[in-house]
Amino acid sequence: MSNPVRIGVLGCGRVAQRYLEVFRDELAGEAQVVACADLVPEKAERFAAALGARVVNGLDGLAAAEPDLVCVLTESGNHAKHVLALIERGVNVVVEKPVALRPEDALAMRDAAATRGLICAVVKQNRYNPAMRFVRGAVEEGRFGRIVLAGVRVHWCRTQAYYDDPWHGRWSMDGGVLAQQAIHHLDALQWVAGPVEAVCAAGQAVLNSLEAEDTAVAAVRFASGAMGTIEATTSARPRDFEASLHLVGEKALAKIGGIALNRIETWEPVDAHPGDADVPALHSQEVPTGYGLGHGPYLRGVLETLRQGRTDVPVGVDEGMKSLRLLHALYTSMERGGWVSLADAPVSARLGL
């Protein structure tokens, strides 16, 4: 596949603007958006005009445009339906977070893609942040020793207007701050600190009016024996001001901060190595929004997998399901009260229903 990869885009709303920037500014020459579709024609027309693509009518229109890959950027509650429909039409897909709202739907997506020999990639762009990669590498090298404590904080701002659309904050289509915003950070927490064994969570709508929660907290027990915390809200005012991860080990302290896990704010090992003083400068980046700058490197990896005729994308459904299963454990804990073990494969009685 020597020519640019032909891209279709399903859904031209909020997150699609980040994809527009990536395809226009970072992947020009590697990928070409040939078609896009949205239920709101004006959104599709603006997106298409910016990239020289054409507007098509829904899933059939996208498939008829013969894309090599379609980016599914629709509402969370529609991810499974749209991905499965595209796979049935023989199309490779990349789906935004969360992979799906129900674990059984995610498994159906994985199996359908495998049966047809197609790609089903799940976006986890923060794994491509230099700060995240440094800390994960330090964990793998043993520089933290035994991890004692790990946690994430997401202090972002979404006003009531955000929740007044037809789907945000609703159990059937979205969930709350944990499912929509902090899902990135649930992934990041396990990616650097290892799998979670059990959680005890609480959440509620504090400032905004929505079915699900705009604020949540949780205690976490990791399989390694480490403890942790999750703290997330969209009731920060007046702006997004923090999305951070901290890690306490017997041999080092680290904190990744900024608004998108984009800056090394603390790196203090017990035993210093040459270059440790330069870590914050070398592995931090400035970002314009909470989306960060990881979409481009992630999508480039997917394109390379596609060009090589492989399906083992950088983050597939199984990896994407790690944060989904943690999410369901958190919601199950809220519903039942008390600690919930992930070994029991808990499934929320509300999310996605």
pLDDT recorded at residue 228: 98
- Both tokens of 94, joined, read 């990349």
Query: Domain 5-124+294-316's class?
Result: alpha beta
CB 7 within 8 A of CB 68: yes
Q: Is the pLDDT of residue 201 over 80?
A: yes
Mean pLDDT across the chain: 97
Residue 291, phi-psi category: left (phi > 0), alpha (psi -120 to 50), beta (remainder): alpha
% of the chain residues with pLDDT over 70? 99
pLDDT recorded at residue 275: 96
Which amino acid is located at 167 in the chain? W
Q: Residue 32 is inside which H or E element, if any?
A: strand 31-37
Start-end of CATH 3.40.50.720 domains in the chain = 5-124+294-316
- Both tokens of 147, joined, read 């991890």
Q: Is the pLDDT of residue 1 over 60?
A: no
At residue 138 the predicted structure's pLDDT band, cuts being 50, 70 and 90, is very high
Query: Domain 126-289+324-341's class?
Result: alpha beta
What average pLDDT score do residues 156-173 get?
Answer: 97
Residue 129 to residue 139: CA distance in whole angstroms: 16
Q: Residue 265 is inside which H or E element, if any?
A: strand 263-269
Q: Is the pLDDT of residue 30 over 60?
A: yes
Helix/strand/coil for 166: coil
pLDDT tens digits for 52-107? 999 999 999 999 999 999 999 999 999 999 999 999 999 999 999 999 999 999 99
First to last CA, the chain: 41
CB 272 within 8 A of CB 143: no
pLDDT recorded at residue 231: 98
At residue 10 the predicted structure's pLDDT band, cuts being 50, 70 and 90, is very high
pLDDT recorded at residue 2: 63
pLDDT tens digits for 227-275? 999 999 999 999 999 999 999 999 999 999 999 999 999 999 999 999 9
pLDDT recorded at residue 6: 98
pLDDT tens digits for 204-234? 999 999 999 999 999 999 999 999 999 999 9
pLDDT recorded at residue 258: 94
Q: Of the candidates 328, 287, 334, 329, which has an alpha carbon nearest to the alpha carbon of residue 99?
A: 328
pLDDT tens digits for 280-314? 999 999 999 989 999 999 999 999 999 999 999 99
Start-end of CATH 3.30.360.10 domains in the chain = 126-289+324-341
- Which pTM does this prediction carry? 0.96
Give me the sign of the Cα torsion angle 303, 304, 310, 312. negative
